[in-house]
Amino acid sequence: MTTPRVHIATDHAGMELSAHLVSHLAAKGYEVVDHGPKEYDALDDYPSFCINAGVAVVADQEAGVHALGIVLGGSGNGEQIAANKVKGVRAALAWNLSTAKLAREHNDANVVAVGGRQHSVEEATELIEAFLQEPFSNDERHVRRIGKIAVYETTGEIVE
């Protein structure tokens, strides 16, 4: 599997972690695209940053580019919610190694959310790396379940 392009976005609470991840991941060979913000503002409105990162992940994937996203905040909750509003995004909040890996392995999540105030920089980096490195299992039951979510997302039909 090729190294994915990584789209990253944050709010003010995740800026230190974001800056660390941009340089850390680039040093590991990832192409990192930073969707902002560019400067600290305690009153920033993170949804646009996270939505832009999600849009970029989906656009890359639709173009055949292996891409994943990272959205960061104080808790990661609002950022995950914002990213999940983008059609085609499956954003998962990771708070330990198991949730980071299972988000990819079982749910083929294409965006991970992490709370910068919930983890040390080292812990958060470990979660992000686990997410980025874990492949989707392609297990039939997971493919089927993701397909049902996609049907609802595109048509509004709930498939039993």
Q: Is 74 labelled as part of a ligand binding site?
A: yes
CB 100 within 8 A of CB 141: no
Helices (H), 28-159: 47-62, 77-84, 97-105, 121-133, 140-155
Helix orientation angle between 77-84 and 47-62, rounded to the nearest 10 degrees = 50
Is position 12 annotated in a ligand binding site?
yes
Annotated ligand binding at 36? The verdict is no
Q: Is 110 annotated as a binding residue?
A: no
Sequence-ordered list of residues with C-beta below 8 angstroms from that of 58, at least 6 positions apart, any chain? 86, 87, 88, 89, 110
The catalytically annotated residue of 24, 106, 123, 126 is 106
Q: Which two tokens stand for residue 114?
A: 């992490």
Q: Is 141 assigned to a binding site?
A: yes
Give the residue carrying structure tokens 């990272």. Answer: 70
Q: Residue 144 annotated as binding?
A: no
Burial of 123 (0-12, 13-18, 19+ CB in 10 A): middle
> In the annotation, is 119 catalytic?
no
* Given 7, 35, 79, 119, the catalytic residue: 79
Q: Tell whether 117 is in a known binding site.
A: yes
75 known member of a binding site: yes
| 126 is a catalytic site residue | no
For the annotated binding site, the residues are: 11-12, 74-78, 107, 117, 141, 145
For the annotated binding site for D-ribulose 5-phosphate, the residues are: 11-12, 74-78, 107, 117, 141, 145
Instruction: Please identify every residue annotated as catalytic.
Output: 79, 106
